[in-house]
């Protein structure tokens, strides 16, 4: 077997066998355990009862032989000649299967373990691609990633290749992936990526809004009050903003955006990107809120909103004059300074010093 990289952090000093991938120093014996009954809904993910070298491990039910037969240990394979294990994040199509890359096809065939957000969707995607999934497929999603992450990293530490994929787009971007990457980095393991389709970048490119600076804000809060407060906090954000939203909340969210950013703020609603019924609607937020409220909008949606326009910069003399006028009208000097400085976007300490100097003259 190829040598392994020495793990640091939470994996330091561990010598076990995980998912049937032997780790140096561990005896590799037979595997026992019958196939668990499939769970309802999402794939059962990590089953129980796999024993390798006397150490209890876990495996994916979907990877076990039909009829509950024995599952032999798997030696990591490295067609690239790289002796070290690696964690690979790979982007999957966001709609059109033809966007799948040749590299994704190769990784699906070569990886020792494929960690998928939904194992059924992965297998359906592989079938549409005409791709072969050569390794074990395990479930790795937001509800179990704290438990599955250590198992995946032990496979990497053993010299194996773990491929992480989500239902669509790039893992870790509004999808599972961040935690396993952070843990791998802490453990000193190799992390790489196979880039590809991204709903965020596709929506941004199609929006017709500035792309030189932008930020991704994910899904706004579901509760109306929290959502409006969250959006109001972004009122002066100068960069183009990209959001995701569920179709049944779109009209309410656009109305809150119109309240927070202004009804005339340019925006684009991008729906079903790269799919048959792709649609991009561009208008002011107020008009878009009306548009969404008048129809049943379906599909996966990204909302792109223009950043706040640049404010006219008032001179220090003008700001000081406003502060002193408010103070002469009875307002406390510190209160006037704080409010004027906040609106102007300047340090209140500097404005306060300038106001005191002007008063003393």
Rounded to whole angstroms, the Cα distance separating 86 from 77 reads 12
Q: What is the CATH number of the domain that holds 262?
A: 3.30.950.10
Check residue 329 and give its pLDDT. Answer: 92
Check residue 279 and give its pLDDT. Answer: 97
Check residue 38 and give its pLDDT. Answer: 33
Chain center to CA of 168: 11
Higher pLDDT pick, 44 / 141: 141
Write the CB contacts of 341 (distance below 8 Å, at least 6 apart in sequence): 319, 347, 348, 350, 351, 352
Best CA proximity match to 240, nearest among 218, 281, 207, 264: 207
Q: End-to-end CA distance of the chain, in Å?
A: 83
Final residue belonging to a domain, choices 153, 173, 194: 194
Q: Is the same domain home to 16 and 161?
A: yes
Q: In this structure, is residue 311 part of a structural domain? A: no
> Whole-number mean pLDDT of the chain?
80
Instruction: Read off the pTM.
Output: 0.66
Best CA proximity match to 35, nearest among 53, 61, 70: 61
What percentage of the chain carries pLDDT values higher than 70? 76
| CA distances in angstroms from 328 to 73, 214, 250, 299, listed in the order given | 83, 42, 47, 57
Q: Is the same domain home to 63 and 161?
A: yes
Q: Is the same domain home to 160 and 217?
A: no
Tokens (6 digits) for 201: 């970048």
| CA distances in angstroms from 229 to 53, 246, 290, 338, listed in the order given | 55, 19, 21, 21
Final residue belonging to a domain, choices 145, 179, 194: 194
Rounded to whole angstroms, the Cα distance separating 299 from 332 reads 53
Rounded to whole angstroms, the Cα distance separating 296 from 60 reads 39
Q: Is the same domain home to 168 and 233?
A: no
Q: In this structure, is residue 1 part of a structural domain? A: no
Best CA proximity match to 17, nearest among 64, 68, 51: 51
Check residue 315 and give its pLDDT. Answer: 84
State pLDDT tens for residues 161-202.
Answer: 999 998 888 888 877 788 999 999 999 999 999 999 999 999
What percentage of the chain carries pLDDT values higher than 90? 61
Write the CB contacts of 357 (distance below 8 Å, at least 6 apart in sequence): none
Check residue 57 and give its pLDDT. Answer: 33
Q: Is the same domain home to 336 and 257?
A: no
Q: For the residues 106-113, what does the mean pLDDT come to?
A: 94
Sign of CA dihedral 20, 24, 28, 33: negative
Q: 25-39, 77-91, 140-154: which range is least confident on average?
A: 25-39
Contact 175, 200 (CB under 8 A): no
Contact 153, 16 (CB under 8 A): no
Q: Is the same domain home to 113 and 39?
A: yes
**H helical segments located in 39-164:** 102-110, 119-129, 145-157
Q: Is the same domain home to 143 and 187?
A: yes
Number of separate domains in the chain? 3
State pLDDT tens for residues 273-314.
Answer: 999 999 999 999 999 999 999 999 999 999 999 999 877 657
> CB burial class (10 A; 0-12, 13-18, 19+) of residue 40?
exposed
Q: How many residues does the chain have?
A: 361
Q: In this structure, is residue 310 part of a structural domain? A: no
Tokens (6 digits) for 36: 């668990």
Question: 300: domain range?
Answer: 199-305
Q: Is the same domain home to 18 and 160?
A: yes
Tokens (6 digits) for 254: 């656009």
Best CA proximity match to 89, nearest among 193, 12, 179: 193
pLDDT at 332 over 60: yes
Backbone angles phi, psi at 354, to 5 degrees: -65, -40
User: Which residues are paired to 18 by β-bridges?
Assistant: 21
Q: For the residues 337-352, what does the mean pLDDT come to?
A: 88
Best CA proximity match to 161, nearest among 182, 183, 139, 189: 189
Q: What would the DSSP string read from start to end of 35-72?
A: PPPPPSSS---EEEEEEETTEEEEEEGGGSPTTS----
> CB burial class (10 A; 0-12, 13-18, 19+) of residue 239?
middle
State pLDDT tens for residues 49-108.
Answer: 222 223 333 333 333 333 333 223 445 554 444 457 999 999 999 999 999 999 999 999
Q: Identify the top-confidence range among 111-120, 145-154, 281-290.
A: 281-290
Final residue belonging to a domain, choices 280, 305, 330: 305
Q: What is the CATH number of the domain that holds 154?
A: 3.40.1010.10
Q: Is the same domain home to 300 and 346?
A: no
Contact 157, 8 (CB under 8 A): no
Helices (H) and strands (E) in the chain, counts: 11, 12
Q: For the residues 8-35, what does the mean pLDDT come to?
A: 41
């Amino acid at each position: 077997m190829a040598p392994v990289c020495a793990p640091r952090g939470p994996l330091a000093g561990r010598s076990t066998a995980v998912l049937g991938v032997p780790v140096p120093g561990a005896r590799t014996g037979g595997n026992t355990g019958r196939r668990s009954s499939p769970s309802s809904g999402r794939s059962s993910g990590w089953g129980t009862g796999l024993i390798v070298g006397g150490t209890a491990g876990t495996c994916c039910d979907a990877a076990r032989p039909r009829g509950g037969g024995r599952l032999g240990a798997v030696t990591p394979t490295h067609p690239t000649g790289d002796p070290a294990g690696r964690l690979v994040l790979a982007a999957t199509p966001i709609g059109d299967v033809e966007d799948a890359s040749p590299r994704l096809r190769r990784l699906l065939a070569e990886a020792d373990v494929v960690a998928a957000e939904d194992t059924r969707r992965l297998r359906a995607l592989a079938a549409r691609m005409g791709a072969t999934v050569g390794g074990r497929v395990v479930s790795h999603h937001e509800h179990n990633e704290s438990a599955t992450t250590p198992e995946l990293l032990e496979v990497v530490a053993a010299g194996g290749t773990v491929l992480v994929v989500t239902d669509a787009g790039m893992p870790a971007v509004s999808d599972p992936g961040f935690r396993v990457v952070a843990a791998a980095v802490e453990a000193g393991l190799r992390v790489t990526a196979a880039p590809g389709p991204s709903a965020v970048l596709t929506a941004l490119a199609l929006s017709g809004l500035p792309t030189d600076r932008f930020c991704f804000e994910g899904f706004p809060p579901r509760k109306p009050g929290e959502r409006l407060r969250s959006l109001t906090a972004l009122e002066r954000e100068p960069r183009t903003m990209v959001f995701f939203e569920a179709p049944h909340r779109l009209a309410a969210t656009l109305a809150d955006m119109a309240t927070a950013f202004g009804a005339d703020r340019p925006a684009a609603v991008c729906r079903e990107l790269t799919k048959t019924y792709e649609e991009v609607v561009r208008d002011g937020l107020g008009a878009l809120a009306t548009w969404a409220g008048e129809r049943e909008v379906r599909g996966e949606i990204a909302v792109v909103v223009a950043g706040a326009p640049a404010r006219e910069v008032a001179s220090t003399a003008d700001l000081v004059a406003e502060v002193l006028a408010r103070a002469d009208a009875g307002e406390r000097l510190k209160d006037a300074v704080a409010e004027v400085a906040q609106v102007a976007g300047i340090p209140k300490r500097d404005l306060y010093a300038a106001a005191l100097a002007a008063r003393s003259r």
